[in-house]
Amino acid sequence: MNNERQAETKRFVEEVGIAFEHSGLPRMAGRILGWLMIAEPPHQTTGELEEALMASKGSISTMTRLLIRIGLIERLSLLGQRRDYFRIKPRASYQLLKDSLDQAAAFRQLIERGLELIEGKTHLNRQWLEEMRDMYAFFEQELPTLLERWEQEHKERQAASEATRQE
C-alpha cells in the first residue's frame, strides 16, 4: 500500500473512532470497527488488529468484547486455524436499529412513569418530559415501517445485483 493510501486509511479509521467517541463509546472501539470496515481480508486476528491500530492486546481484547456485546462484530474461527478472528457482523446495522426501537419503547415507558409522578403538580420539566414521550412514541410508530421498507428495497437491490452477475 502506498504512503498516501496508508495515510488516508489511518485518517478514516481515526474518524470512525472519533465518531464513536462523540456518541459516548470508546474511541478504540470505533477504530476497530473502522479498520474492520476496510480490512482485507475482512476478518482479522487480535494480532492483526494490534499491528494495524498500534494498540495493546488488552485494549483490543476489551474493545472487541464491547463490540461483540453491542452486536457490531462477531468472533469466528476458520477451519484448520487455531486463532480467533473478528469481523463485522452481517446485518449489524439493521439489528442495531431494531434494538434501538426496543430502547425507545423502554425509555418512553420510563418517561411516562415520570409524568405520572408529577401529575397534578406544576413542574418545570413537564413540557420536556411530554416532548420526549411524544418523540419516542413517534419513533416507535414510524421506525418499524421504515425498517420494513428498507428490508424490501434491500432484497430488491440484492436480487437485481444477483441477476446482473449471472448475465
Fold of 3-88: Arc Repressor Mutant, subunit A (1.10.10)
Residue carrying C-alpha cell 480490512: 39
pTM score of the predicted model: 0.77
Confidence of residue 20 (pLDDT cuts 50, 70, 90): very high
- Of 55-59, 61-65, 88-92, the range with the lowest mean pLDDT is 88-92
Q: Which helix (H) or strand (E) holds 136?
A: helix 126-166
| pLDDT of res. 125 | 86
13's enclosing H/E stretch is helix 3-22
Hey, where are the domains in the chain? Answer: 3-88, 92-156
Q: 44 pLDDT exceeds 90? A: yes
